[in-house]
Structure 1
């Protein structure tokens, strides 16, 4: 008999700032580098398939929210969905790609926004898979009896790094005023928002809860250089002394080493590595594709989904596309927050029925990591 407690997601919350921004006005909203349209922007939008997204700043660059305030709002919404309040929370695990401050951690900033009494905290900084890192911490805290009510949240405020003035004077802009593709593509792909889940040792008294069966995290960083990074030049991203802190922020900015960038050639190899991890889990019996009713797979672009489907269709491990659920087109790619934004939307849609299983997969291209979470929908205890 398992001496550990079962764990249930009893509430999901999502927060998307401002009004939806469609493709026709998005570049004017974040600003045109050099005052001219991006050379790569339209190609990026065709590639990623995003139609709308949300930004936590105005076209003038004024902040509407912080990463921490969006994350806190998502936690409060998840608590409300669970029928709980701030006073019920005793553990908070927070994830992000880039927090509001270099120090202290994101969880401290979110707690500051939430206010209230003492909490156990854990901060996780990576890229998209940091959401499941935080979820695993919250899950283990409740499972071991260390916490009664734990929240895992993830937030992103990417647009603040995409303003034209962030790149001006740096090496990423060429002599014609064009921004390097490794940085410019991301301006048309990433957006802002936050999501959260609340975990307890008992299902909620009314409605559906999601029992967390397991969470697995797999890093392949020993095989790959950074694929998405900030804080180093492209040439120095894998060197011990290649980071911004050795050179100082002004010198690093001049080298183009502060901006978020992605190596799209390396990404092709990383995609195949992610799929290899998934296939290993299928072969080991950890995942049975036939038993998955809903697949929430985070991917940054429609073209990446097409590549993943193409690689899997010839295998016994393909989960039929009619079972896939995403909000990418409507909410954009919100990095680490995307998986919780998707899960909240799936639960709210009414599609989930008791006994169904939900598989969440979150690959990240930061340095080749992928996370998996298996959930089972359970009825309320009467």
Structure 2
């Protein structure tokens, strides 16, 4: 088996940062009214700025594939060019199309040469799944390198005009014309952007990150869906797929909107996160003292104190001064968030050889978790 190193990291964040007070200027106001939930949600999540691939007229400035390819292109120079790529593995929650695959669309924009493709779907873990595909390809000797990405373009899903027909339908039924909290909640949580890693079977440059191991866990056998799109949840907790609705219902019920069951989220996200992280650490015989940086993907600062408390109760608490997150400055970019954190940490120039980094990514889709353990070398 080959050693696998992250040798280069890059990101692409579209346009200028958008403050909390500017969000509705870009996303619009549902029923021409300011959201009552917005300020409460923003106060809890701690996000100050985010990025949208939109202009103020609501017109998209980039596709998801655009964002991803622009991040990838920053990895290239005279030593490693687009024509050297062997594997392209892309993860996202918000592909531009049902098909072709996201990776195929990105490859089309790169226009380099024939490569092996992988597209990982899901929610936040899709970026880590894309990373693991590239990691296993290089580790097994199937390839000498792989480019792995996480990206999202969610802003266009959150625009007010996507909910207009639902609001009209509620008015016709003489019901309160307010978008359900499970949908409105996510309008103030998510952001756009992309980041990319170059994986190789040898070190490159002053600093490389050796991937020691990766682990993933799913609790879908125990828990119902929490975050979903392209369908809706029935009384028994099952999901009715979009293809079983009429075209009229797609609009009347905002079937394609992103939704999150907050009650299920609060009840399970931390508990299963601690359970899975403890299992990963015990499997590889590491403890809190074996981690110099913890990069936790959290959707909101609301969860940080609770997560630390539960880590402490489980005996795996990593001291908070070792935690690194950039959520406040770039927002929650889903599958790209862990890439963006590592990109910022690696390019800041403060890492020292021998330090160990633990990546931790939960996803609330149906409660999946992914981890990676890296050594600076």
Alignment partner, residue 129 of structure 2: 133
2:36 match: secondary structure: coil
1:207 match: secondary structure: coil
In 1, are the aligned partners of 2:215 and 2:280 still within 8 Å (CA)? Answer: no
Alignment partner, residue 318 of structure 2: 319
In 1, are the aligned partners of 2:280 and 2:371 still within 8 Å (CA)? Answer: no
Structure 1 segment 213-362 matched on structure 2, within 5 A: 213-235=212-234, 238-239=237-238, 242-271=240-269, 272-362=271-361
Q: 1:93 to 1:231 in 2, by over 3 A?
A: same
- RMSD between aligned residues: 1.7
Structure 1 segment 103-122 matched on structure 2, within 5 A: 103-122=99-118
Deviation at 1:283, TM superposition (A): 3.8
Alignment partner, residue 39 of structure 2: 42
Q: Which 4+ runs in 1 deviate beyond 4 A?
A: 171-174
In 2, are the aligned partners of 1:14 and 1:196 still within 8 Å (CA)? Answer: yes
Structure 2: how far apart are the matches of 1:119 and 1:318?
42
2:338 match: secondary structure: helix
Structure 1 segment 193-212 matched on structure 2, within 5 A: 193-204=193-204, 206-212=205-211
Unaligned runs of 5+ in 1: none
Structure 1: how far apart are the matches of 2:235 and 2:114?
41
Say whether 1:367 aligns with 2:363: no
2:165 match: secondary structure: coil
State how many pairs are aligned.
Answer: 372
Q: 1:377 to 1:91 in 2, by over 3 A?
A: same
Say whether 1:98 aligns with 2:94: yes
TM-superposition CA deviations, 1:55-88 (whole Å, max 9, x none): 00112111111000101111122334x9421111
Structure 1: how far apart are the matches of 2:170 and 2:307?
33
1:53 to 50, 68, 81: 50
1:169 match: secondary structure: helix
In 1, are the aligned partners of 2:224 and 2:238 still within 8 Å (CA)? Answer: no
Which deviates further from its counterpart, 247-256 or 126-135?
Answer: 247-256
Structure 2: how far apart are the matches of 1:178 and 1:251?
17
The TM-score with structure 1 as length reference comes to: 0.93
The TM-score with structure 2 as length reference comes to: 0.95
In 1, are the aligned partners of 2:92 and 2:126 still within 8 Å (CA)? Answer: yes
In 1, are the aligned partners of 2:162 and 2:254 still within 8 Å (CA)? Answer: no
Deviation at 1:173, TM superposition (A): 6.1
TM-superposition CA deviations, 1:122-145 (whole Å, max 9, x none): 010100011110111101111112
Structure 2: how far apart are the matches of 1:215 and 1:250?
44
Structure 2: how far apart are the matches of 1:277 and 1:309?
14
1:79 match: secondary structure: coil
